[in-house]
Structure 1
């Protein structure tokens, strides 16, 4: 299963490489009506693909590309924790499996598992195997989430956000029954 996942990831990485070969940047001019000031900013349509590619190569590199450095410890902390639980459950699974094999072969089981019955050894084996597989699935899910987050963040970084368009919470008192109404105010200035 891990081989298939690794081969799939390699295929995705190498299929995205031709997209990164072109580095066209569009320059957009913004002209404000009531003033003479013209502002221009660069939009790179391939920035989201680059961010996703960098995160696929090395987790956290896409976050560094989009200059969101504070997210890198979160990426490594979450993936590291789930990988730690994978290793822990794998060791415990092997410990229970070897103890069960020893019990079936007629050898004496020593250590912390000496007092367990065969049924308890089997249930401990299944428990740690299930948790090991779940930890691996969570690690892969966090890896994919890292790539998607870098891509979305790069997309959202290209939006023009200024004071002309704003959305903020608003609380008003109703004049009839004097209850407070909570809502959102959307303002757009031309």
Structure 2
């Protein structure tokens, strides 16, 4: 839960920085003075001096000592599923990872066997094909007088389900890697109740001896 909360905070901060550094400069270019004319370079400089915005980007940080390198955790999860969760001290996730991969793997083997059985039956019972048992003998549980159209439909159904399960196995493997990487990357973020954004607004005097307002925003992290 904490990792998802931290991820939301990270995305919020990134979006805020994008708006501040992407939208604000564009708006600043269209500012006009009281006469309706664009600000001159000197007037814009006065405006910038009257409004100070200081932001400490907490995302630009080094790896916290004592915590694993997220990239190392990701590579280890790619080699052995669940290894990254063990490094992240989330051993309780390992049975979930192997239960998901094992369940999908078992189901895919079962579907693959059913597909092969009906493929062999459709080939062997089809009068338009050679009687060479190319895909093996017809399973005993499939009657010799089975409808060829039904056999073909069932064969295709098992094949499609098997392929879909293969996709699920790949997604489960990728989810294992993403989970380990994201949690390792977000562990150093402060998700306590004290996490806050502290704005400081106070009047100030600019270099041109004109009154202004100073705004400072501090992102409090560990």
Structure 1 unaligned regions, length at least 5: 1-24, 28-40, 167-187
Give how far 1:160 is off.
2.5
State the partner residue of 2:65: 42
User: Within 5 A, what are the aligned runs for 1:12-91?
Assistant: 26=62, 42=65, 47-91=69-113
User: Within 5 A, what are the aligned runs for 1:116-135?
Assistant: 116-135=146-165
Higher share of residues assigned strand: 1
CA distance in 1, matches of 2:193, 2:125: 73
Q: TM-score, normalised by structure 2?
A: 0.52
State the partner residue of 1:138: 168
CA distance in 2, matches of 1:97, 1:122: 8
Provide the alpha-carbon RMSD of the alignment: 2.6
Cα-to-partner distance string for 1:102-158 (whole Å, 9 max, x where unaligned): 112468956221152101110011000000100100000110111011000101211
Runs of 4+ in 1 over 4 A off after TM superposition: 105-110
CA distance in 2, matches of 1:136, 1:156: 30
Structure 2 unaligned regions, length at least 5: 1-60, 197-219
C-alpha contact (below 8 Å) 1:43/1:158 kept by paired residues: no
CA distance in 1, matches of 2:85, 2:69: 12
Q: TM-score, normalised by structure 1?
A: 0.61
In the comparison of the two structures, how many residue pairs are matched?
Answer: 129
